[in-house]
Structure 1
């Protein structure tokens, strides 16, 4: 808003003879004391590091001294409702010092006249013409007022008053103009600092809001993943049991195979959700050990081979002719490679081609005492839908997918590559994705410094065959226990079920389990309390207690000390076979 015009006020003051600015040049003036002025400006420059109030006070103290005035002050515009209708005496020195903070109208004040005229003005006996000065004691014989320039409007006015026969001259005007210019610079700096601090606060508040939203989203994702595990467990177990029961019925097996493929897809989506939650909380870890790279590649290909065959893909793998020993978390590396292969299968049209090439040095050629890791480069190429250029920089972001990927019949959540990048980085490696654009295929390159000088025997093929065992299942989810019990019974085990801790305690009076699979979160007596009570039973002294939980971080919790081990729901048959073997 513009400053209200002061033309009527100027005319009135001029007609009253109170405006005597022309006398400044007619009066004799002292020689400039540049040394004192320089010292004063230096002191004010130092005051810039202090608060705005301290800086303005230093300014008016300097004006008071250099102009030998009785009072000095600075009047700054006090905006109200977008209008500049008042001046605030922001700092005052001398005989008017007790009036600091006083408000006066802009349209009836010496400062208003000086700003309206756009130049320094000298007034005689201003109290007689400006009602706003009536409270000033004693009489004011002269007042010299200099506008404080500013952009886009003046900041206000700097003024000095005489209360006796002291007269101001052109030298005093020069000093005040210099101080007014300094004031403009200081106020501009202060305003810029305040604006910057306000923007910084807004940015920090926005950052916190985004972080809070991200945390809420991650918590929701983790909860969703945990909740989805519960119905998946009985479905998966029931389907596995049904496939055994329908071994002689091809039509039923065919229908179950379709359902099983969709359940496996759901399990992968849930695993991606839970891995994203583990990454967020730093709980997705790797545990390196010596393994054969060939076994890792074989397991990764096996994980996607059925889907690749169903889509009639040509899947080729080229490995070194010699065994390559690596120091890596084999399970996590299988997850990395199968994720990359799975994306290639998913986003390559039927009949497409997928190749996996492994370039690794021969560990036998590494000197025996050389422990430095060598690099293995795994390259996966496909002839699929490719990646648009605008998505490539964000390809590893969570939930990042192209439109064509989202429209795919088997599209995922856009979490796979973010998990891949995290796990590759955890192995001190690098992953990069290349594509010439949509419809031109994709190339993923994994570089992992994991090759070691060592020899490892090929791992035996996995099997679920274990000696029959007496198993106690404790879970308040009846469907989950019924389906898992049926599957384990078909495998030759003797299984008893309980839906709460009290039922389990009654059962063990007549049934001594070899293994007890116990859900942690049950109403009433939870899994922890049940485990402690079972430990006190002499008949359960050799029972292997296994916790079942949907929490991704629980396996590392000190609260699990009552149990021999912990499995995340739904447990795989490999996991169950492992814990039952002890």
Structure 2
């Protein structure tokens, strides 16, 4: 279309040119908008990938840090336990070691919370229900927190049903839930404050219930401590969430505990609620769990019988860890041989037939699973119970081969009660 002496533009030409210009402008605008959108989408995708990578690296760092911390914690914990036994006749020394031991228990709880954080995020913190008494769970939780309660001069009031209450739940995890809630009450309640732990549950042996469904147990922990502000209350279950006032009042904590509690309660198909009328007004935590069931007819507790002295082979590449734990076990009456490598362990069993071999999973020359397989081939170890010592409590992350090789797994720091349970079953 041209404008010359023979052809002059008229209104129709103007209309066509205007529409063509508008169409071209729209096409260019759309092309530019598409390019901008694609650029922004690529930038957003890159940002999401960067955030996901940062989160993954953070989880890896937390998991690695907490796992690596278990080794020195286990060593110091064993050394403290041995020192307290040796210093039993010296009150002043025992008192100082008691302070160190209480702080070590706090450190163990913090590391345990760190390990639980990434598991909750990825849905790997599972529960393994079994039958037990609700009163035993509460008693274990109170015992675990007794030194903290006494240290803070708190008045702890505990009320449980007078009749046995059988529950079907993960007894260890439920003890962790009650301990965690009690721990927060102790942290945020000033010295001399009141803490009340009450439990309500039906007596199914005499109560009429319809159907096989379990009934609710209600666990309530109430304190007259720091309380929670209205603005912070909706976020108490968020991971790593702590208000400024909470950080000011608490004697340690990472803001992980409430998230762990909610996850474990939810895994039991229960609910947890935290209420407070404001700062300085105290806090009330209510946990409702459908776990109460009729008695199975089997004894829910067993009377501990004395453990005969056992011959133990202790294998750990950390010399301090083997020395501290070995000394503690010897004070408990065990005959202990120490090895700091798989090669040393194989040499020792040529003249020493252990009843139990406690083997660290991660060692440089011969790792734990490989050493266990080699010990299985030795005639001297045909009756030896092979127990893995690991810094990870995540059962789902263990290779299936480890489960087949070892007779049991114990978590660092080693609990003597857990060891005795293994010995009883051997």
TM-score (norm 1): 0.68
Q: CA 1:352–1:190 in structure 2 vs 1: closer, same or farther (change >3 Å)?
A: farther
Pairing partner for 2:400 from 558, 563, 567: 558
Q: How does 1:363-512 map to 2 (within 5 A)?
A: 363-364=204-205, 370-408=211-249, 410-455=251-296, 459-460=300-301, 465-512=306-353
Shift of 1:333: 0.5
Counterpart of 2:3 (choices 98, 107, 124) is 124
Structure-1 separation of matches of 2:276 and 2:179: 20
Deviation, structure 1 residue 365: 5.6
SS at match of 1:512: coil
Aligned-residue CA RMSD in angstroms? 2.5
- Equivalent position of 2:64 in the other structure: 223
| Preserved contact between residue 295 and residue 459 of structure 1 (Cα < 8 Å) | no
Paired residue secondary structure (2:78): helix
1:572 partnered with 2:415? yes
Counting only pairs closer than 5 Å after superposition, residues 25-40 of structure 1 correspond to structure 2 as none
Q: Deviation at 1:444?
A: 1.5
For the residue of structure 2 that corresponds to 1:124, the secondary structure is coil
Cα 1:456/1:256, change in 2 over 3 Å: farther
Deviations 1:514-571 (A, max 9, x none): 0001112112122222111111111211100111122344663213022112222222
* Pick aligned residue for 2:192 from 351, 360, 364: 351
Residue 556 to residue 282, structure 1, CA distance change in 2 (3 Å): farther
Counterpart of 2:124 in 1: which secondary structure? coil
In structure 2, relative to structure 1, the CA distance for the partners of 1:316 and 1:195 (3 Å cut) is: farther
Task: After superposition, give the CA deviation of every residue in 1:296-341 in whole Å (9 maximum; x if it has no partner).
Answer: 1222222212211221212123333443322210110110011001
What 5-or-longer segments of structure 1 have no aligned partner?
Answer: 1-68, 70-122, 126-140, 142-164
1:189-243 Cα offsets, whole Å, 9 max, x none, are 5555544444333333222222211111111111111111111112111211122
Match among 73, 77, 87 for residue 236 of structure 1: 77
Q: Structure 2 residue aligned with 1:291, among 125, 132, 136?
A: 132
Quick one: distance in 2 between partners of 1:347 and 1:400?
Answer: 15
Q: Distance in 2 between matches of 1:456 and 1:183?
A: 85
SS in structure 1 of the partner of residue 286 of structure 2? strand
Larger Rg: 1
Among candidates 86, 97, 114, match of residue 256 of structure 1? 97
**Aligned positions, number:** 423
CA gap 1:432/1:268 in 2 versus in 1, 3 angstroms: same
- Where structure 2 has 5 or more consecutive residues not aligned to the other structure, the ranges are none
Give the direction of change, closer, same or farther, for the CA distance of 1:294–1:388 in structure 2 (3 Å limit).
Answer: same
| C-alpha separation in 1, matches of 2:11 and 2:91 | 111
- Kept after mapping to 1: 8 A contact 2:314/2:337: yes
Partner of 2:377: 536
Instruction: Flag the 1:368–1:385 CA change in 2: closer, same or farther, 3 A.
Output: closer
Deviations 1:443-475 (A, max 9, x none): 222122222233566744785941111100011
Say if 1:394 and 1:187 are closer, same or farther in 2 by CA, change over 3 A: farther
Distance in 1 between residues matched to 2:305 and 2:191, nearest whole Å: 33
> 1:185: Cα distance to partner?
5.1
Structure 1 residue 361: Cα displacement: 3.2
Which segment is superposed worse, 463-472 or 229-238? 463-472
